[in-house]
Structure 1
Amino acid sequence: MTRPPGSSGGARRVRCRCGRTVLRQLVGQRAALDVTADADELTAAAAAALREPNRLDWCLRTTKAGPDLRWLDGTHRADCPHPHVIDHQCKATAAPAARPRTTRKAPPVPAGQLTL
């Protein structure tokens, strides 16, 4: 019996709509969280200082498959030697509102009459 992989295959480097390079990955095996984190590597202490209730920091490991984001759980060392990253906060402006759809033209027959 083989063990399931430790992650979803690692993080991908992509460009956010604000222009910054970010890391995207599904982190977790049961209830995965879609993480978008800044690609800027920080120390564990610097990332912890930027942490907020809705902005998490992640341990960034390098595996043979590439970068891999890991949860910071209770067993994570305070003096972790690996780089850390923080959730991305996009500064891009909101997308323009979609144009309202135009309605179809009224049929060329009087109301109630069917067209063939």
Structure 2
Amino acid sequence: MTYRPSSSGGARRVRCRCGRTVLRQLVGQRAALDVVANADELPAAAAAALREPNRLDWCVRATKHGTDLRWADCHRRRGDCPRPHVIDHQCTAPPGPPARRRPTRTPPVSEGQLALDA
């Protein structure tokens, strides 16, 4: 049986609207999670200290294709992980303007009346 490579292709460095450089990647094989994490690498213990219920830390692995983010379950397997970790990004930019709605068109005839093309 052959191994199916990850569909994400690794983490991309992108700029957030707050100006910080972040890593973005789909993490997971079946139910992928869209991760946006700070690009600043931390030791595993420091990243674990910043972890909150809605803010996870991620294990950073260097592959031949570039940077790859993985679930930080390495704490349970080997104690202290030797690889760097990153933490989910919390954007500080103000929310953008609301999406503009397109105006609805009024029909050329009154409601309930059919318009027949000649």
TM-score range, shorter chain: 0.7 to 0.9
Structure 1 residue 105 displacement after superposition: 5.9
Q: How does 1:30-109 map to 2 (within 5 A)?
A: 30-73=30-73, 75-104=76-105, 107=108
TM-score (norm. length: structure 1): 0.83
**Structure 1 segments unaligned to the other structure (5+ residues):** none
How much is the aligned-residue C-alpha RMSD, in angstroms? 2.2
**Structure 2 segments unaligned to the other structure (5+ residues):** none
Structure 2 CA distance, aligned partners of 1:113 and 1:3? 60
SS of the aligned residue for 1:24 comes to strand
Q: Structure 1 runs of 4+ off > 4 angstroms? A: 109-113
Larger % of helix: which?
A: 2
Aligned partner of 2:82: which letter? P
Among the aligned pairs, what percent are the same residue? Answer: 72
Q: Deviations over 1:53-85 (max 9, x none)?
A: 000001101111000011122644332111100
CA contact (8 A) 1:8 1:25 kept: yes
- Number of paired residues? 115
Structure 1 residue 6 displacement after superposition: 5.3
SS of the aligned residue for 1:22 comes to strand
Aligned partner of 2:52: which letter? E
The answer to which of 5-14 and 34-43 deviates more is 5-14
